[in-house]
Structure 1
């Protein structure tokens, strides 16, 4: 009997994060692991999307403060990781997001009303996963890592040309589900890219109290897969690293772990008070590394961006914000019967009986 032994990569990632564009908007001299900086045209598109995403996050945060939405976890400050990684996906690839990845959903093309349906309590998900090749956003920590790995395994068995990408945070990286996903993905060489957004906090727990590891990307070597440490506020580096990892997966070379060093500028959710566990000085320090500012400086230097384009993008962002407000001002049309939709592929007897009870109640109330 022949046993296929997977080819593994065990080298430790470099300590200095991969970066093309520094905080000052100038090219860095950091080693880039053979990656190439994206074209100005690609970077201009990434700049536009990051501006849109930031305005979206700001508008949604305002709506939560007005009581128009329930608890919302903003990804302000993490635009480079969200947009860079998601934009690298091919149409046939699948995204497995978390509750903080609304920016990724927007980048993937999901309409704002469908993104916010769950936060408003209108629907469990709000969008059709098959239409956008995107799974429902996972709230439990790290469960989406297993979903991404299992889906990738299925795609591999079917011979499909598709990879999966999942986001997780530094806190989720300590969960048992993540260990299982890393191990399974590496053993079976699934085309999975794990994008670990290290935003320095697991709710109120700082990274230094979560792990004594030098960096989270080190963990990849223990599972026999490549690990990269990337400047998560440099969208050029994120896009290049994720695009290469996805291509590697599609070529049959297995999973990759990419740690994106970034920072959560706002609270964990709108119900959280970050002043209880971090200093204002720390937030101010991270503002120096703003992903949008640095890319704008770089593109202005190359001549790919001018005042007119910046103004046009800002106007598009305001149009998006208006669409968010309009969507949340519209009353949702909710059908109670939808409780029973998409629960089981083959309906269960008990569920059918419950549906009959509801149908009877609706008929009695004149809502049939």
Structure 2
């Protein structure tokens, strides 16, 4: 199978933390396999809805509904990985998470898309103690659920536990949670092999034997990790906030993808430049879509689902709620940033050719139109049906 579209759902793993950064975004395994898909299909498109820190129910509510209108059949690859963040929480309830995961996969399978699922690494090279044993048991149960529903619907499974050397901590970033660049690269190659695409035959080669670290060095590294990563994580949990709060997805809608291996242009470029073009000497604004306006287009697609009369009534109400929540967050984070630029006298144009003032005007016009449509849909269509 050769894919014409790739839709990625999930959390930090699929967002790409903590791979190399290109154009201000983590690259990640998903971008890396998109590079290979694009190299073989000039019409290939890619969307990545994943946001770090999201729990399973958040991915199911906020990301999954957006992919259904975008799926065209088995030539659309949908990757789904969520639930590992739930298993890390003290109040984790497998009786809720596992059935929700399985039911979501079944819903996606009904679209006819090709589905890619993932297991979680159950044990790393330093997995010791009661906490590590607890997470190992939770992840083991989670993985059995993944494999069972995958077998049921015919999904492809990328199993992190098949290759023992992947438990090497040197594939993890300094936070000891997310993959580093080498980890994302090897994950991408493993997935490409699963999908029968060209891949690096050396991805299974274990790293050289690690040098032994003395007690003093290990202690310093542990305390550095504890202070830099663990304490902030605990503090977020106590406050009920997430690292993904206020963040939006990398690519809100399918874009014509440029292969990062052959081009260093930003991933938001929709139209390839000619081979003879020199990006450094060109005005790229004609090739770029502004990030904020692209986000509004993404939210417009949510509104269109609420306007669709073939969608069940209560689902339409939910899409209106998602639309409003998204818009609130957009103004609190994105528009607030633009306002600060305006207040500090920034007049430079961005890569898409807008000054902050021009962009705020465009946002106001677009938002006014969207909110009018939302009000009309609710007052004139949905509310009367709810009353009946």
TM bracket, shorter-chain basis: 0.3 to 0.5
- What TM-score, normalized to structure 2? 0.32
- What TM-score, normalized to structure 1? 0.33
Higher relative contact order (CA 8 A, sep 6+): 1
